[in-house]
């Protein structure tokens, strides 16, 4: 016979037992019985609001044994359990039903002792080592996943920043190219203005001389103080000084200087006429 059927018969006998109307069954308790201890509670079934019939007892017995089997699977080996019944007004259990259950997959032989023997300690140590190994594997796997996600995020960030740096370099090169183009345009404009100014300077130097030559007249006024000072300066120059000045002048400047010196030297001293 199975534990479920025995437990169902025991429940049927104990729950219908005549204890008086003032002492109904209030609770069914499933406890794990550990050697040398009071054991620990596994499951409590409240009967104050639950109406049980004879047909419900096999199902109830299967639920209790299934709960004990789950607890034994977690502990391993062969475990001992006690089902007790409590009635109203009694602090202690009035009846108990002890039974044993082997953990699923347990390697101990039938009838193995529950005492902490060498074989039992070895089995417990192996279970502890297995649990530690599983915990370590799960921890390492979790850490590896976290690091992998962080590494992927870091790679994406580095790639995004690298792309931004390349874009900034391209923008900088374009700005430099535009600056060079502006500088070249500015230099070209300055050179053009310089050539224009030089051309106007040469024209300003040569045009009066050419006009004086064509008109056959002297343009300087003898009564002009500046002209008188220039005449005095020209008359004070020695031929050696004049040669030294000529060596430093451009051709158009030499023409102007020669014409100017010639006109100044021909100015009559104290003359009131502006032309000769």
pLDDT in tens, 44-97: 888 777 766 777 888 888 888 888 888 888 888 888 898 888 888 777 887 888
Residue 165 has pLDDT above 50, yes or no: yes
Which range, of 13-17, 67-71, 124-128, 215-219, averages the lowest pLDDT? 215-219
pLDDT higher at 161 or 87: 161
The pLDDT, as a whole number, for residue 276 is 40
Segment 156-162 mean pLDDT: 91
Q: How far is CA 46 from CA 64, 85, 88, 203, in A?
A: 13, 10, 12, 125
Give the confidence band of 111 by pLDDT, cuts at 50, 70, 90: very low
Give the confidence band of 113 by pLDDT, cuts at 50, 70, 90: very low
Give the confidence band of 233 by pLDDT, cuts at 50, 70, 90: confident
The pLDDT, as a whole number, for residue 161 is 92
In the block, residue with structure tokens 């006998």: 13
**pLDDT single digits (tens) 182-206:** 888 888 888 888 877 776 665 555 5
Q: Which residues does 242 contact at the CB level (< 8 Å), separation at least 6?
A: 261
pLDDT higher at 233 or 128: 128
């Amino acid at each position: 016979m199975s534990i479920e059927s025995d437990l169902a018969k025991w429940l049927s006998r104990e729950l219908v037992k005549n204890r008086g109307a003032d002492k109904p069954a209030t609770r069914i308790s499933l406890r794990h019985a550990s050697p040398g201890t009071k054991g620990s509670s596994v499951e409590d079934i409240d009967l104050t609001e639950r109406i049980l019939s004879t047909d419900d007892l096999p199902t109830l017995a299967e639920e209790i044994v299934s709960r004990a089997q789950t607890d034994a699977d977690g502990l391993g080996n062969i475990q001992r359990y006690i089902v007790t019944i409590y009635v109203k007004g009694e602090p202690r259990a009035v009846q108990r039903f002890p039974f044993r259950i082997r953990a699923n997959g347990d390697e101990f032989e039938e009838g193995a002792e529950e005492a902490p023997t060498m074989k039992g300690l070895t089995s417990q140590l192996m279970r502890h080592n297995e649990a530690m190994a599983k915990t370590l594997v799960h921890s390492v796997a979790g850490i590896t996943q976290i690091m992998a996600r962080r590494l992927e995020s870091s790679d994406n960030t580095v790639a995004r920043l690298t792309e931004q740096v390349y874009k900034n370099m391209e923008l900088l090169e374009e700005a430099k190219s535009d600056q060079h183009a502006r500088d070249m345009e500015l230099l070209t404009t300055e050179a053009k203005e310089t050539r224009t100014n030089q051309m106007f300077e040469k024209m300003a130097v040569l045009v009066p001389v050419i006009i004086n030559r064509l008109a056959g007249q002297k343009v300087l006024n003898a009564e002009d103080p500046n002209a008188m000072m220039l005449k005095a300066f020209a008359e004070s120059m020695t031929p050696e000084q004049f040669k030294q000045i000529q060596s430093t002048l451009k051709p158009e400047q030499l023409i102007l200087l020669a014409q100017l010196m010639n006109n100044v030297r021909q100015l009559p001293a104290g003359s009131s006429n502006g032309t000769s």
